[in-house]
Homo-oligomer: A and B are copies of this chain.
Amino acid sequence: MFLRTELTMKNHQFGRITESLADELAELRTIRFLDASQIQETDPKKALANLLSRAFSPITQDAHTLTDRFKRLLATDEVDLATFFERPDLKLTPAVFARLSLQLLAFEPEVDYDLDQPLTAYASLQLPFFEVQTFQHASDVWHAWYHLLTTHTKHGETYLDYLAQLGYFRPFYNVTTQPIFFNGKAQPVFDPHSLIREVVYVEAPLDSDQDGQRDLLKVQVIRPQVTETGYRAPVLYTASPYHLGTNDQWGQALTHQVDQALTEKPVTPAATTSEPKPSSVAPLPPKRIPAGYTQEASEHFAPENGYHLNDYFLSRGFAVVYAAGIGTRGSQGFRDTGSVAETLSTVAVIEWLNGQRQAFTNQCDQLAIDAWWSNRHIAMTGRSYLGTLATAAASTGVDGLKTVIAEAAISSWYDYYRDHGLVAAPDTFQGEDMDVLAAEVFSRRLDAGDYLKVKSAFGKTLNAIAKAQARANGNYSTYWDARNYLNQLSAIKADVVVIHGLNDWNVKPRHAYQLWQGLRDLPITKKLILHQGQHIYINNFRSLDVTDMLNLWLTNKLFDLDNGADTQLPAVLVQDNVSPETWHTYPDWPSSAQAKQTLYLGGNQLSPNPGPSQTQMTTYSDHLPDQQFNHYRKQIAAWQHDLLTDELGSPMANNRLLFKGPKLTQDWYLNGVPQVTLTISSDHPFGLVSCQLVDFGPAHRLTTKPTLLAKNQLSGAYDWRKDDLVEFTLNPQVSPYKMITKGHLNLQNQTSLWQANAVNPGQFYTVTLPLQPTVYHLPAGRQLGLVIYATDFATTIRGNQPIHYTVDLTKSRLDLPLN
């Protein structure tokens, strides 16, 4: 009846800060682990008993019942805690404290640690040691207890957060009027079931649906009850176009056919696609004149399907704001994916939260309502499109936006739907494009009464997007340039946290890399976390205290608490791809200590030394038998397998070049942008090149998706929304290889993305193809592989054309950044 997963637990905590004993004691008093009488105590064991009675207070306040619980804990490996407290001959030692802590932290005796070796376990589990050599005075216990409260349990949260889930902070609910901080982080002292949920309509400086009225945008506010009595809350704002519904079937109907031939692009002197006329260029209608002012909203909403990171902060004194933006259900306007108007509409909400833009209680009364409850300190959060809009907003330099946490965010829309002159789909979304996405999120369509009035006009917007994205062309253009946030990074004033998956082939790693490069020299604080996931969020992983780090960060940025977050958190954190639950810190990405390794192509080999200098020509075809082609169209995993396998008889054997390096004699750490230089010809006046870098060698590799460790384990507050605890674990099956990174280019864009070159059939061109950036640990014994091919069933269009490519191996190479 049981599924079992073997794990190597390793705890990483970067969000813990070190305080003086005086501060520790003061904070313990603030969160009521000590009171005026207890602070008089001198005896270590009595002090410990007092603390434990506080820790168990949500469970029982009855002395005998508490003793019952103490009997279930071991103090020494032979004496239970109740007996330990009764026996004056038994002293409190570091081993006793550590053993007790391990039990309280839910580590499993005999499984996670040996009961007679608790201090060893502290080391092997990487738990931060409390550094008390002898418990001579109560203050030693208080210090160690403070330490325990900030230490992670087996389930990836601090012991204090675990106690919060048990109800420790319930007595604070009705008496607390201001946030309470502990170890530099806000605590859950506000009842998440007394939150106020209300709707306002922010007036954006846009008339994107050209109805002669500025667009009103529906904004959902969730604020603590104590804002009613004077407290002013910082705001976590998530702009999510998906939040109020999506048009999945419509999007599916609009999805482009990808089984199409690559064609020759016109060689024109400049980009031929032009930016569709932005709506915001039309004369902007005047602001609405308020008919009056109110502090009371007239519309409310039911508890949302929230974003776990935001949910965590809802009991900690933060407000959370969700806005789906222009063109979504309950809002006005039309959304043009990635446009300036989209950014302006995103920013309008921040301006309202910062007191610089007006909003109304509904769409008709013009009764103005201010964000009077806001402390004017705003952060943006969210993953994917949500994180993208956070990046977009930050790139305007809008006032009030103190930080953005951009998870798996797009930094340039060209890099999302195109690659180096080619249409290149995000993973699993073949045929999607800017127009499809615009239709998907146009949730005004879900309100039949609203949609009836704008159906025809929005159809025109959609057509304009379809034309401007110029799917048949693939070049970069003014259209794409206007949707490239990298152009505006210098305006950023907000501090930035970038979080991205090194295996994210939906929003590919280049997005984070380019953003990081653009932020590097700005006078802001920036942090980067690179994990081994695909397109996921990571605040529920056991091995890393993401939630604590972000609490430290947001408490610093939004409450202005001087907790040292800027220096406490590492600049760059990277999850190891070989050892589970292992994280490395770096000063930068690429890491500053760079070595370059060049590998040369010859035979089927990758070699550190150039081969013979005579020409070595190798040809491969892009054409497959119809049956094979149709099979791969439907079974992309089978295609990927056949592409990479070097088993004899792979149906892809003639459709790719595969090179393998020697077995490594030492570990290699790739860090940055691997680059392939090819001297290549096509027998057509056009062509495409794809490359994959591969880790070859049988191994148990990390699972591609996180393994569920404990369902609904995490919530961070009493009786509140729960999240699953997960972790990447080693796959029990051996895999023969893993793709490290990949890249694509259109041969006609070998010199410029803006402009196509002519390609003469049979003529050789030397092209440089930067693969997606990576950090990759390739252990000794593995072999690095490079696969060169054309059509990518997961990514490019698929014409199954009889194009033949020839590579001159002597003039081709692979350049690797190592550290």
Q: A interface vs B, CB < 8 Å?
A: 1-4, 58-62, 64-65, 67-68, 70-74, 78, 80-82, 103, 108-111, 115, 165-167, 193, 246-252, 298-303, 305, 330, 361-365, 384-385, 426, 428-429, 432, 437, 440, 445-452, 506, 634, 711-712, 718-719, 722, 733
Contacts and interface: CB of A to CB of B under 8 A. Distances in A.
Contact of A299 (B65, B108, B249, B447): B65
B362 A449 contact: no
Q: Top 3 A-B pairs ranked by shortest CB distance?
A: A72-B447, A62-B298, A80-B449
B72 A1 contact: no
Contacts of A451: 109
Q: For chain A, what secondary structure do more than half of its interface residues adopt (helix, strand, loop), or is it mixed?
A: loop
A440 B1 contact: yes
A428 B3 contact: yes
A711 B428 CA distance: 20
6 contacts: A2-B252, A60-B300, A64-B298, A65-B361, A80-B452, A109-B446
Nearest to A162: B302
Contacts of A305: 711-712, 722
Nearest to A72: B447
A2 B299 contact: no
A60 B445 CA distance: 22
A435 to B, nearest CB: 13
Contact of A64 (B61, B78, B362, B722): B362
A290 to B, nearest CB: 15
Given A248-B4, A299-B60, A68 B364 contact: yes
Contact of A447 (B4, B73, B362): B73
B193 A298 contact: no
A86 to B, nearest CB: 14
A449 B75 CA distance: 8
A298 B59 CA distance: 8
Contact of A1 (B59, B115, B432): B432
Nearest to A99: B448
Nearest to A75: B449
A142 to B, nearest CB: 24
A260 to B, nearest CB: 21
Nearest to A168: B302
Nearest to A67: B364
Contacts of A722: 305
A302 B167 contact: yes
A68 B111 contact: no
A449 B68 contact: no
Contacts of A719: 193, 302-303
B65 A718 contact: no
Contacts of A72: 330, 447-450
Contacts of A108: 249, 446
Given A2-B429, A64-B362, A166-B302, 9 more contacts: A59-B299, A62-B299, A64-B365, A71-B449, A73-B447, A78-B452, A80-B449, A109-B448, A110-B445
Given A108-B446, A299-B59, A384 B246 contact: no
Given A68-B364, A506-B1, A449 B299 contact: no
A64 B78 CA distance: 72
A72 B443 CA distance: 12
A723 to B, nearest CB: 11
A28 B809 CA distance: 81
Contacts of A58: 300, 302
B3 A363 contact: no
Contacts of A111: 247, 249-250
Contacts of A166: 302
B303 A718 contact: yes
Given A452-B80, A733-B634, A248 B440 contact: no
Given A67-B364, A711-B305, A426 B1 contact: yes
A448 B193 contact: no
A248 B446 contact: no
A473 to B, nearest CB: 22
A489 to B, nearest CB: 24
Nearest to A440: B2
A506 B1 CA distance: 8
A96 to B, nearest CB: 13
B302 A62 contact: no
A165 B463 CA distance: 39
A449 B733 CA distance: 38
Q: Which of A64, A70, A72, A440 has the most CB of B within 10 A?
A: A72
